[in-house]
Amino acid sequence: MAEIELKTAPADFRFPTTNQTRHCFTRYIEFHKCVNAKGDDSGECEKFAKYYRSLCPGEWIEKWNEQRENGNFPGPL
């Protein structure tokens, strides 16, 4: 297996505090907005997906994905 790349979501000046809840949520929103605007396979959105996967607890992502499928996701998409 090739050497893995050590890379994660960068520090974001919009979220300078210990509380990173909104950082994770914003990256999730940014990914889905990007996909809505540019399409699934433009390749530009993948970095946002990597960011939110790094920052969000898996349970939260599962819940939000479920909410989006059911159409009751509360965020601004």
Q: Footprint of another protein on this chain (CB under 8 A)?
A: 1-4, 6-11, 16-26, 29, 50, 53-59, 61-62, 65, 73-76
- In the bound state with another protein, the residue whose beta carbon lies nearer, of 25 and 34, is 25
Q: Report in angstroms the alpha-carbon separations of 30 from 13, 16, 58, 59, 64.
A: 16, 18, 17, 19, 14
Smallest gap from Cβ 76 to another protein, in A, equals 5
Quick one: 36 or 54, whose CB is closer to another protein?
Answer: 54
Cβ proximity of 38 and 44 under 8 Å:
yes
